[in-house]
Structure 1
């Protein structure tokens, strides 16, 4: 049993990059796929720094694109471990873009990546526990725990569907869908 504990600060990673035209999409904004790649990189760095092991992305719980990022802005990603299990951890990431001429900073993205630590054979391996020192760290841990519980409920949700039910057809009528004869 690993009795080692590390602080959230021991997982913190910050990365800043100037957004170039080569990072943009056809509308002239920074491509979401490019930002996703940066998110994965910083999640890896934070999780590996915390665990002391090579880490892989197990899932991405949330990626909320809140504001577009323009070419020429300085993008800063901040990551830290919010929650730990036995071999996995949830890394919270915040993305901000700064207009380097005006100094205006906007929150562009928040994301949560579940990362798993691997040993030399590629098997999941024990990670340190998390030492929480601030109310913000405690809030983040509890929020991550709540997201995990809700995801488990979604994954375990089973429903017996009567596909011929008039109630179901009426309910679906409010959506942009046509259900044809099901086979």
Structure 2
């Protein structure tokens, strides 16, 4: 019998009040603190889904869209969007809410690739994903596209000759000064 799990079985929500100890000098919450919370919820989501200990393999694009202030309630929502053989892509949405006014802001969204491990640290297979609606289909395909784009970018990077005369000349159109020592 094949093991499979639903997206709903992976859903996790985490809310935390932002304290002065989480802030930088301008009174905004440190991006690193938010990343820590995102990593924690990605771990919880992937572990809940797979039934295994999971580790973070990569984090795709974290754009901080709106700052978070001290005293706001931050809510992170996570679910598994894609599964491979041993890996899962966890989608995370972060919002903040001003407790007195009820105004909510979308702070960021990100995608964490998590890998399931056994007690010896070996990769283990994860359950197949049961997709139940068109939104889950869209998220699965979006994950496939991000994975394929990442592979293409890596291939281009591996084949690019940054030492070529053409590559060095191309740098002149950017905000850089090329030292004579390079040539």
TM range (shorter): over 0.9
> Residues 135-162 of structure 1, C-alpha deviation per residue, up to 9 Å, x if partnerless?
1111000000000000001111112356
Asked if the contact 2:172–2:178 (Cα under 8 Å) also holds between the matched residues in 1, the reply is no
Q: CA deviation at 1:124?
A: 0.3
CA–CA separation in structure 1 for the residues paired with 2:83 and 2:61: 17
Q: CA deviation at 1:63?
A: 0.9
Partner SS state of residue 72, structure 1: coil
- Match of 2:10? 11
Q: CA deviation at 1:77?
A: 0.1
Structure 1 gap segments, 5+ residues each = none
TM-score (norm 1): 0.94
For these two proteins, the number of residue pairs brought into alignment is 180
- Match of 2:101? 102
1:91-130 alignment runs, 5 A limit: 91-130=90-129
- Match of 1:54? 53
CA–CA separation in structure 1 for the residues paired with 2:165 and 2:172: 14
- Match of 2:182? 182
CA–CA separation in structure 2 for the residues paired with 1:162 and 1:117: 39
Partner SS state of residue 173, structure 1: helix
- Match of 2:143? 144
Q: CA deviation at 1:35?
A: 0.3
Partner SS state of residue 141, structure 1: helix
> Residues 64-116 of structure 1, C-alpha deviation per residue, up to 9 Å, x if partnerless?
11100000000000000000000000000000000111111110011100000
CA–CA separation in structure 1 for the residues paired with 2:96 and 2:138: 25
Asked if the contact 2:66–2:106 (Cα under 8 Å) also holds between the matched residues in 1, the reply is yes
RMSD: 1.4
1:36 partnered with 2:32: no
Please identify which structure carries the higher helix content. 2
Structure 2 gap segments, 5+ residues each = none
Q: Which runs of 4+ in 1 moved over 4 A?
A: none
- Match of 2:161? 160
- Match of 2:19? 20
Moved more, 155-164 or 24-33: 155-164
Asked if the contact 2:22–2:33 (Cα under 8 Å) also holds between the matched residues in 1, the reply is yes
